[in-house]
Each structure stands twice: as C-alpha cells, then as structure tokens.
Chains A and B, each alone.
Chain A
Amino acid sequence: MVLLWLLLEPAGLRAQVSFQIAPGMAGQFQVPQPPVEVIQAATAAVSFDPPVVRAGETAFYRVTIAAAESAIQWPDPIDAPPELKLGAAAHGQSAQVFGTQYRPATTFLQEIRATAAGHYTISNFTVSVNRQQLLIPAASLDVTDTNAAPLPAARRLHLELSATNIFVGQPVRVRVLLPAAEGKTVDGVRDVQFNGAGFMTDKTAMRMSITSVEVNDQIRPGFIFESAVTPMAAGPLSLSAQGFTAPPFSVGPISITSAGGPITLGGAGQVTPVFLVSDAVALNVRPVPLEKSPAGFTGTIGKFYYDPPRLSTNRMRVGEPVSLKVVFHGDGELTRLVPPATPRARDWQIIADPPPAIGFTLIPQSDETTHTPAIPFSYFDPETAKFVDLTIPPQRVTVVGESLPLQLAAADDELKTAAPLKLSSLAPAPGKAVTSLKPLQLRGWFIGLQLLPVLGFLALWRWDRRRRFLEAHPDLVRRLQARRALRRVKRRWQQAVVARDAASFVRHAADAMRIAVSPHLPADPQALVCADVLAQLDEAGSDRNRRLAQTVRMIFAVTDARFAVTPQAQADLLVLRAEVADVLQQLEEKL
C-alpha cells in the first residue's frame, strides 16, 4: 500500500498545476481580502427539512450557527428520540460578505429517518462556540403515516460518477447536480466538497454549467458542478458531495446551455446559503496489478496516445542540446498523466522539461551514438485491465564529433620531414577488393583447398603402383583384357539374338568362346579353334558338359563351314542360345 501511495504520489502532485494568471486578475490578487468577522455572540438556527415526512422517509436536521467551524465543538452523535434513526452526518462552513467583512456560518446536517408516525422533537442542547455555551433550540418533526399523501422531499444534491468499478489511481469524472425546484429558479452550488475516505479531488478539472437535466424522468433546468476524483485506496469506498446553495453567478464562470424550455436564473442578491448533501455513491476500487507493471509505468491510468515525437534537429555536435517534444492525447484527464521518468543512457545526458510540458532536453555525450535513447513509458488501461506500452521510440540522429586537423603547419619541422602535411584526397574508385578481410590462411575452405594437390599426388602414386604390379603379372592383364573383350562380344551376341540374326549369332558366339579361352593358352583368340575351346570345358566331367561341348562343335562347325562349298543352314541355330550362354558363363568363370 505504501508502495502504491509512493507510486501515485506524483499523480497527486501533478494535480496542483499552476494556472496562468491574466494581467487583470493579477491586480486583483494584490487587493487585501476582507477581514473575517468574529461574532462575539453566535446565534443558531434549527430546522427540519422538510418539516413533515412520511414514516420511512428521510429528513434533514439542520443547525446553522453563525460562527467559524473551527470554533464549534459539535456533539457527535446528537440526542434524538429512538424512533428517529440517525443517518449520515455532514457539516460545512460558508462565508458571506457583508460590507467589508466576511461572516462565517457553519451548518451541521444530520440525516434522520423516522420509523413510525408521530410528532418528534430533538430537544434543545448546548454546544461550545468560541469557548462559550450556545443554546441550540429544540426542533420538531412531524411524521405521518406511510399511506398519507406524498409530501415534497428535501432538496438534495445528486451525485453522478462516470464509473464506479475502477482502479486505484484511475481518475473518474464526478457531476454534482442541483435541479431547480418545481417552479423555482436555478440555484448555484458553492464550496462543493466531496466526502469519502481515500479520494483525491482534482480542482484543476473543475467546471460549472447550467443546463437541462433529467431528474425523476422530468427535464428541469439545473446547476451542474463537474470535477474529477481519484481513488487512492483499494476496496469498497463511498463518495458523497456537499455544498451550499448560492446565486449562480457568484460561484464562478458558468456555461449555460438549454436543451428545452426556458432557464430562469436566481437573482444575484443576498440569499441565505442552504447546506445540501447528496446520497453516497458506492465504488468498487481495485488495486492496479503493479507486480506486472512494465518498465516506464509512472502510475498513469487511462487511455493515451501521442503524436510522433518531434526532435528539434537530428544533426548535432557532441554536447549540443536538442529538445524532444511529445504531445500526448488521451480519453481521460491529461492532467492525470504522469510524464515518463527521465531514463539514464550512456551516451546522453537527459533533462526532463519542467511540467506541465512533456518533453526532454537531450545532450549527446559521444559521437558514437546514432539514436536518441528510448524513453520507456506505459500506462494502465482500466477498460482492458492491462498495461499498454507507450515507449517513446529512439529517433535517428547524426552526432558530429570534434573535428581533427586536416593539415599541419609547415613550420613544424619535425613532422614536415617525417610525415605528409595534409590528409590525402578521396580515392576515386574502390580499387583492389577482397571478399573478406579475414586472411586466407585462417579460412576453412582454403585449408580444404590445399588437400586437392595432396589428393592428386596420392592418386598418381597409386596409379604408378598398380602399373608396376600389372607389369609383374602379365597373365592378370590378359585375363582383364579377355574379360573386357568378352563383355563387349557378348553384348553383340545378345544383340544378334534379339535381332534373330543367326549369322551374327554364330560368329559372335564363336568369337566370345575364343576370347574366353585365350588367356589360358595364351594365344591370340583368332588363332584358336574348336578343340582349344573344348579343352577348357572338361567334356568327360558331366552330361551337361558333353551337351555343351556338342553345342561348341555345332557353333564352330558353322563358322568353319564358311570355307565350305555349300554353307549350312543357320536359322535353327538360334535355338542354341541357352546352351551358348551356358558355355560362355562356364568359360567366363574360369577367367
């Protein structure tokens, strides 16, 4: 609670904004105020308002003593018959100017509710006024039965609040209405005071007007006093208003609007002020969840926004002050806006403008800075019960440092001999460029690149080693060559099978067999004959081998027959392709 009070303390301070005094008014202030008349023998007037009520209705027991409030020792509570239930009590002091003197008058008002019909008297009693005893005369109240005809009620103020479910620190607008009595002129209300613990009244937000108001479904002219109050404590609170009737134009500047019907104003003559009170209005005041408050929350509650911040210039030298102005707007009372706290920034000296202006004087301390510092600010929106960030964003600036010399005096012998006397001109072109300033030696990809020559030399070494190995083993080379040639001829043989080209089929089959057996002899494949192939088949080994040998003979018979006078028919040999494939497979396995 203390923390909350501390937090909201500035809000209270802000309420006391000094207003401008017009030159004419300033003169008035120099006129001495009239002296207060100290009445030696105070008098008292007592009445019930209204004097007759129905049982259960409210009346006011009003005692007016012609003395200052501080001089009176009022008994609390007063003695009253048990049938009269005492309600809320109020008191206030008014002063009237008689000639050159103020005459104070204090009114004590006690709300009374009669529980049963009858004639009740509050007997006389004495109070101490200026250390002298003053007799308060007796007063009577007539209470009729509840079924009796309605009687005119006592005049009272009507209190209206813009919201009753609010947060601590949230300003609410209050209206105090005094409708004109039936067939009477409009009275003003002066010395308006709000009663209720835990509230702070904003006197700067005070406005008075006379307009048509609706009371009990009737449009009547009435006096309106408007102000704003701010709850300073959480919990269920109640607020009531009190004030004295006065001629409308004696209370201050008033605006008059008429929504319908003529408005008749009371005269400006001498009128006895009547002390009036309003019913209490209950409010539910919730605490602001400060534990969730973001940076820059200064206790401002309401709904606000601001125009783009204006910087006096965005180009400055180090140490040159610039002003940052921010104009805030809001749904609520702007006087309740607590400006952002002055932040601390390394490169800036920041001075808040004196209130009520919201702005800062910024002084750059270094030419390193490129932006003004962000000024944290947030407010609490009572409608959504959430904090809203309204930080003033950084503004881009250019800060120019102290300039350095561009050339040296020619008289400086030491420097003249060692160094050029002035800075060079600008380079006309970017010149030699690199992809990065990081040296190649430290770049990963470059180290990787060095592996390429290593790999090249490694491959070369392996190739040489293999070459030497093959030179030492020529049979391996022959087999390799035979395998390679065999694969090639087999491919052609298969193509012949697909093409049903019997001549090619036979020729390639024979060639393949010769190639497959050539490394075993070793010999040139073209020099080999059927017997050489059969020698590799192990004809006596199995029936399958005998059959395959037969196929070889048939193939070679056909190829040898090219030298014959009448070549054999070859078309039927295509049926031997499975056997030929078997032969080739067997021969290949031996390679």
Chain B
Amino acid sequence: MKPNRLILLASLVALAGLGRAATNDYFAQGIRFSSAGQFPEAAAAFGQAAQARPAAGTLVNLGIAEWQRGRAGAAILAWEQARWINPFEARAQANLKFARPVAQVDEPPLKWFETASTWLPGDAWVWLAGASLWLAVGALVLPGVFRRRRAGWESSLASLGFGIFLVAMTANVGVVTRADLGVVLKKNAPLLLTPTRESEIVSTLAAGESARKLRVRGNYYFIRTALASGWIARDQFGLVDAR
C-alpha cells in the first residue's frame, strides 16, 4: 500500500476514534448531570450522544432523563428507539412496561409479521435474508458451474436457505412497516382533521401514545392511533426510526 493511502486510512480511523470519544464524552456528561439531578441538561447531553451515535444504552438513559423532567412522550420514544436497536435491551423493556400504564397509553398494536420482526434487531433480519438467499442460490448454482453433481447436502442447504429467506423477508417487511410507528411527544397534542394550522381538532392525544404514520403532507403527518386517525404536526410526533 502506498504511503499516501496509509496516511488517509490512518486519518479516517483517527477521525472515527475522535467521533466516538466525543460521543462518550456526552454520555459521561449525561451520567454526571443525571446524578446531580439536572435532568434537562442530562437529556440534552444524552440527546447529543444519541444523535452522534445512536446506542441502546444512551437512548435508555435519554428516556430516563426525559421522564424525570416530565416528558413522557420523549421518554417512551427514546426507549422504543433503544428497543429498535437492541430488542433484548432489558432496561428499555422494563421502563416501557413501567411508563405506559403511568402515562395511560397502550402499546402499539403490531401485526403478526411485525411481532416476528421484533425477535431480532432490524438490521439482523436484512443480513440474514441476504445471506440465506445467496447461500441457497449458491448451493443450487455452483455445483453445475463447477461440473459437479449436486450433493444431497447441497440441496438441503438450498432448501434451508430459501426457507430462512422467506421467514427473514417477512420479518423485513415487518421492520419496514414498524419504521412508520411513532410516539406522540407533546401533552394533549391535537389530532387534526386537515393538515392546516386552523384545522378542526378530531381528538387530542396523550403524550406517549403510539401511532402509525400513513402519509406526509407539508408539515404534518397523517397518523392512525388505536381509535382515531388524523393529522398531527411533525414536531409533535417522533418516529421510531427518527426520520
């Protein structure tokens, strides 16, 4: 490798290291603020850490800080995001179980394939789908290419690959549809009949209530909650995938 390339690679590694160090600084800062009871500052620090590098632990702590400063919606969103990154994050799961009854909101109703998609992290499903597909295709195609008779284990491997692929694809659809789930951030957020400022209010939503984004128009999302649908201002609704 040429020296210039080596320098470039080293710089990139160093930059990545710096970025991670900064994230860790924010995380440590957030811990300090939380310990001191300065929850708005802690939330800001964890928020910056999560923005720079979304991590399950950071989001759990962000949720705790938001909860302690009185923002149920932001807290539930942060814990949902933590669970989005790592479905096995125990703190996030426990906090969601604690917070939803307190905030008097329900869990989002998931379809069967969405429930399946929560068994693994969203990214794992897509890798699994890719790997299983190409493994199956390889097991089918490569023996022919290399002028070998296809062995029984190769056929079995192909079948298994396709089977896993089908399951993973279903879960992938669940991941994609789950990406449209979100949480109402503000207390008594108005659900509007039309995507306009002066619109008639269909209903008011509690902070932390889950809903599914169906459409976007201007500065509004058209969402469906368990019992009603309507438009909500973008700044009052946070999507789990933070788009």
Contact = CB atoms under 8 A, between A and B. Distances in A.
Contact, chains A and B (beta carbon distance below 8 A): yes
A430 B98 contact: no
A135 B78 CA distance: 98
A367 B39 CA distance: 12
Nearest to A415: B101
A433 B57 CA distance: 8
Interface in B18-62: 23-24, 27, 31, 34, 39-41, 49, 53-58, 60-61
B241 A367 contact: no
Given A400-B40, A420-B98, A439-B122, 10 more contacts: A404-B68, A420-B94, A420-B97, A427-B57, A430-B24, A430-B57, A432-B57, A432-B121, A434-B54, A437-B240
A32 interface: no
B67 A423 contact: yes
Interface in B46-91: 49, 53-58, 60-61, 64, 67-72, 75, 81, 84-86, 89-91
Interface string A418-437: 11111111111111111111
B157 interface: no
B172 interface: yes
A401 B86 contact: no
29 contacts: A367-B70, A398-B40, A400-B70, A402-B70, A403-B68, A404-B67, A404-B68, A404-B70, A406-B67, A419-B98, A420-B95, A424-B90, A427-B91, A430-B27, A430-B49, A430-B53, A430-B57, A431-B57, A431-B89, A432-B56, A433-B58, A437-B81, A438-B241, A439-B175, A441-B126, A442-B241, A450-B130, A457-B137, A464-B145
Contacts of A432: 55-57, 85-86, 89, 121
Interface residues of A: mostly helix, strand, loop or mixed? Answer: loop
B13 interface: no
A538 interface: no
Given A433-B85, A437-B84, A464-B145, A424 B95 contact: yes
Nearest to B53: A433
Contacts of B102: 404-405, 408
Contact of A437 (B40, B142, B241): B241
B51 to A, nearest CB: 10
Given A423-B95, A453-B134, A400 B39 contact: yes
Identify which of B98, B127, B240 gathers the most chain A CB atoms within 10 Å of its CB: B98
B5 interface: no
Interface string A512-548: 0000000000000000000000000000000000000
A424 B64 contact: yes
A439 to B, nearest CB: 5
A435 B53 contact: yes
A269 B70 CA distance: 77
A437 B72 contact: no
B176 interface: yes
Nearest to A460: B145
4 pairs of A and B residues whose beta carbons are closest in the complex: A401-B70, A431-B57, A427-B57, A430-B55
Contact of B54 (A368, A406, A421, A433): A433
A442 B125 CA distance: 13
Interface residues of B, number: 61
Contacts of A438: 179, 241-243
A460 B127 CA distance: 23
A426 B61 contact: yes
Contacts of A401: 69-71
Nearest to B86: A432
A398 B41 contact: yes
B58 A426 contact: no
B213 interface: no
Contacts of B242: 437-438
Nearest to A450: B130
Identify which of A405, A434, A435 gathers the most chain B CB atoms within 10 Å of its CB: A434
B226 interface: no
Given A434-B54, A442-B176, A424 B97 contact: no
Interface in B158-187: 172, 175-176, 179, 186
A441 B178 CA distance: 12
A440 B176 CA distance: 9
Nearest to A449: B130
A433 B176 contact: no
A305 interface: no
Contacts of A367: 40, 69-71
A463 B80 CA distance: 49
A402 B39 CA distance: 12
B14 interface: no
B40 A399 contact: yes
Contacts of B56: 427, 430-433
Contact of A440 (B24, B122, B141): B122
Contacts of B75: 404
A446 interface: yes
A94 B213 CA distance: 82
Interface in A370-422: 398-406, 408, 415, 418-422
Given A400-B40, A403-B68, A440 B186 contact: no
Contacts of A437: 54, 81, 84-85, 240-242
A460 B58 CA distance: 46
B198 to A, nearest CB: 15
Nearest to B124: A440
A137 B243 CA distance: 97
Nearest to B134: A453
A428 B39 CA distance: 16
Given A439-B126, A439-B176, A426 B49 contact: no
A402 B145 CA distance: 69
A420 B96 CA distance: 9
Interface string B206-224: 0000000000000000000
A429 B57 contact: yes
A404 B72 contact: yes
Interface in A64-120: none
Contacts of A442: 176, 179, 241
Contacts of A402: 70
A189 B96 CA distance: 83
Contacts of B99: 423
A401 to B, nearest CB: 3
B86 A431 contact: yes
Contacts of A461: 145
Identify which of A402, A403, A419, A437 gathers the most chain B CB atoms within 10 Å of its CB: A437
B123 interface: yes
Nearest to B100: A419
A568 B89 CA distance: 91
Nearest to B65: A426
B172 A434 contact: no
B179 A439 contact: yes
B141 A460 contact: yes
A441 B40 contact: no
Identify which of A401, A403, A426 gathers the most chain B CB atoms within 10 Å of its CB: A426
Contacts of A420: 94-95, 97-98
Contacts of B100: 419
Contact of A419 (B24, B84, B91, B97): B97
Interface in A193-222: none
B64 to A, nearest CB: 6
A506 to B, nearest CB: 43
